Amino acid sequence: MTRTTTTRARRTLRAWAVPVVVATVAATAACSPIETNRPYSPSDGLRVNLTDDLRGLNLMVVTAGEGEPGAVIGAFANDTSEDVEFELAPEGGAGLTVPVEAGSTVYLGTEDGFDAQLGSVDAAPGGVLPVTVSVSTGEEETLSLPVLDGTLEEYAHLIP
């Protein structure tokens, strides 16, 4: 091969390599959506979106044991312009109602927050408690809240 032929071969290879690399990167990016753009539960509790503006955040139950009283931990957020009431109703048990003013968030189980107590938790720690979360505007969702006990130090003081 002459030097001119080698140079042309290299240029041709480069001309094809760039579009192939760009197409490969684009295809890979399309198959890998950015997960932080999606709402998710980064902690022990669950997130529930009743609407874009009405949601439960990091919801869980803390109890000493199955059949014992429990505390619901987490928050309810209301980004609407109307006051609403969230209701959390465990399967087969008495529920609780949490009023949340327009544009605010009510924290559950904290010193300054709403005291959200369940009389009896029908699930053992390590299990899940089926509940229905609804809001006074009519939306509802059924989910399984994780049940925790005082094994983890950060939850021990929350047991009723």
Would residue 68 count as lying in a domain?
yes
Tokens of 106: 């009510």
CA-to-CA separations, 51 to 24, 66, 122, in angstroms, rounded = 37, 32, 28
- The domain total for the chain is 2
100/64 same-domain check: yes
- 21-50 as b/e, with b when 16 or more CB fall inside 10 Å? eeeeeeeeeeeeeeeeeeeeeeebbbbbeb
Is residue 152 within 8 A of residue 129, CB to CB? The reply is no
Measured in degrees and rounded to the nearest 5, phi and psi for residue 129 equal -110, 115
* pLDDT tens series, the chain, 160 aa: 566 666 676 666 666 667 766 666 666 666 666 655 665 555 678 899 999 999 999 999 999 989 899 999 999 999 999 999 999 999 877 889 999 999 999 999 888 889 999 989 999 999 999 999 999 989 999 999 999 998 888 888 888 8
pTM over 0.85: no
Domain containing residue 109: CATH number: 2.60.40.1890
